[in-house]
Structure 1
Amino acid sequence: MRLTALLTASAVAAGTGILIALPAQAEGTGAAYVALGDSYASGEGAPESHYLEGDSIAKDGVTTGCHRAYSSWAFGVAATVQPADGILAACSGARATHLFGPNDSYPTTESAQIDEVGSSTRLVTLSIGGNDVGFADVVRGCVSAPGKRGRYDCRLEGRPVHDDAVRNLNKLTNLGVDTPNGPMTLAGIYHAVAERMAPDGVLVVANYPQLFSESIEGYRDEEYSCKVGTAYGVATATVKYDDALWMNSLAQEGNAAIANGVAEANRTLQEAGNTQSVVLADVDTAFEGHRICGGDKWINGAQLAGATPKQTSMHPSVKGQEAYCRAVTAALPGSPAPRCDFDQATQSYN
């Protein structure tokens, strides 16, 4: 069974700052608001206690492992626009192929995320592409875990981490990423989602934050590395400054591809006579001054269970979810007053 989280107006307090009173869906025509994408949309990075029922660690054939959290920024967007109904379909680990085909990564198979989008859908938010580049593998290959300091210099040509990342990034930016319909460019993906929506519907595409501080001040040991986590409460996991900057450059290139895809999708939608639009939410800028190794960070470091990194590693904390919410709502037409402050007491955005 498809496990989704209903985002209803009853989940948030009434108030001002409503952009649109998104109407309820007609049966089979899609929710008024649909949040699609990967872990950066599902709420991964929030405390595990925030996972919605049925979305916790996949282990028993019942839970999905999608790690949808009630502190996900999608709930803040819902609090801002107050849709009559909405669906959080984003799933941790999702790739572009899971927008258009089933996701059997976990014990409970999920249907294609795009199935939630239809002719009554006025707003879609989307974060996708990071897993197609294999960014989690890049981070695992660059962060030096206890006893594995040889992972330093992962950025060098000829290292598997470097070469795999370059190859995958080329797919994202040029060749197209794998989907059940064959390789699709980001522009093609955005077009395919938007054209399913209601006339004048808006697809908001969020880019990704660079993870690491660009200031060398946070990398002050003899190797110019930064502590990003602790294993067994003692041994440290670290990242080298030059490797951190290289990982940031991958995010920058990916974000440039996302921006280009948004522009191209709008062009092809207009040429086809469609009235839907695609807009870019610049999330990366919202994290300036709040990256790993840079002070008051809004992104988790390496969160380790023993020496094994948890999925929550290198994902936005609750503060990061709030930053995402502000960036996404700022991209909405009409510039609504954001309701992006997460209240721990009520477990809701207001």
Structure 2
Amino acid sequence: MSRRTTVLACLVTSTLLTLVAATPAAAAAPRSEWDYVALGDSYSSGVGTSGQTGLCLRSANGYPGLWDKANDPKTFRSVACSGATTSSLRSSQLSALGTGTDLVTLTIGGNDVGFASTVITCTLVSDSACAAKVEEARDILENELPAKLDATYADIKRKAPNAKVVVLGYPILFDEKNAYCGVGGMSIPKRKAINAGNAELNDLLAARSQAAGLIWSDVEDEFAGHGICASSPWLNNLTVVPPQNSFHPNSSGYKNGYLPALSGSLD
């Protein structure tokens, strides 16, 4: 190559690089143009607050509905369902996703490790029996749940390859400082055992979601100081009517806990 040709090539390359550098990146689509799908279990369907309907107990006052109301995306659909596990999510919820989906949110994993049965058992039995029940849940968490989460996250990415996928954690359920927790309330040793298992579940969800390239949204900080037994709880204690509200966020929990956590993860 002649010296003249070499100089010309360098000039052309330099000009192209300058043009590329000067061209602004394409602006992200505003949230008003997003297609949003909420997946997950009862913490995503809105159990614990008012307005629950249908077999899946979905409520517009859960965090997905509140985010929809605050951001007015182009479309919003919730297929989250009370009682959902990783298996039922994969078999019955993924059909709501597509290549045009822009945002996916979910909570999942609690039912896989027996969240409901663990908390109910701990309500009724001794401190030592509660600790043993939590250890059973931990065994499932450590030996079975990681592979189930990996498969679930991979399926979501495959069905919605262009979406931001936000995996939200679970709040630490109980305040451990207040000795009194209402009539029939949990003892402090029971609360500590459940909270420790809860934190371990969140740690696993964070690790596996981030390893899958998804967005992790921890809600522990948002709910700090507002656990069950605290002076201003954002979660329901054992509830007789309706019973499913037990140990789920109340309206303040979804509005002041989950919604800010989700919004912050998207900023």
TM over 0.5, yes or no? Answer: yes
| 2:172–2:198 CA contact under 8 A, matched in 1 | yes
Within the alignment, does 1:20 sit opposite 2:23 as a pair? no
The unaligned stretches of length 5 or more in structure 1 are: 1-17, 24-31, 56-63, 102-111, 145-149, 177-183, 221-225, 228-235, 267-277, 336-350
Q: Distance in 2 between matches of 1:135 and 1:263?
A: 23
Residue aligned with 1:298, SS: coil
Give the conservation status (yes or no) of the 8 Å contact 1:19–1:80: no
Superposition deviation, residue 188 in structure 1: 3.1
Q: Does 1:265 align with 2:212?
A: yes
> Is residue 298 of structure 1 aligned with residue 240 of structure 2?
no
Deviation of 1:123 after TM superposition, in Å, equals 0.3
Measured after TM superposition, the shift of residue 316 of structure 1 is: 0.4
Match of 2:52 in 1: 51
More strand by share: 1
Q: Letter of the 2:250 partner, please give it.
A: S
Q: Which amino acid aligns with 2:113?
A: V
* Matching residue of 1:170: 142
Long gaps (5+) in structure 2: 1-28
Instruction: From 291, 299, 320, give the equivalent of 2:253.
Output: 320
1:329 to 248, 263, 267: 263
- Contact between 1:211 and 1:299, CA under 8 Å: does it hold in 2? yes
Bigger helix fraction: 2
2:207 and 2:217 map into 1 onto residues whose CA distance is: 13
Verify: 1:132 aligned to 2:132, yes or no. Answer: no
Match of 1:241 in 2: 188
Structure 2 counterpart SS, 1:205: strand
Question: Which runs of structure 2 are paired with 1:149-298 in the superposition (5 Å)?
Answer: 150-156=125-131, 159=132, 161-174=133-146, 176=147, 184=148, 186-199=149-162, 201-215=163-177, 218-220=178-180, 226-227=181-182, 236-266=183-213, 278-298=214-234
1:141–1:151 Cα contact (<8 Å) kept: no
Identity %: 31
Distance, in Å, in 2 between the alignment partners of 1:325 and 1:97 is 26
2:72 maps to what in 1?
82
CA apart distance, 1:171: 3.5
d(CA) in 2 for partners of 1:264 and 1:114?
20
Deviations 1:194-233 (A, max 9, x none): 232153x200000000100132xx115xxxxx32xxxxxx
Alignment partner, residue 35 of structure 1: 38
Cα deviation, 1:172-199, whole Å, max 9, x if unaligned, reads: 554x3xxxxxxx3x23322220232153
Normalising by structure 1, what TM-score?
Answer: 0.64
Computed over aligned residues only, the root mean square deviation of the Cα atoms, in angstroms, reads 1.8
1:143 matches 2:108: no
Shift of 1:294: 1.4
Q: Distance in 2 between matches of 1:127 and 1:35?
A: 9
Q: Deviations over 1:270-328 (max 9, x none)?
A: xxxxxxxx1011112110010011110000000025xxx81110000000111211111
The structure that has the greater radius of gyration is: 2
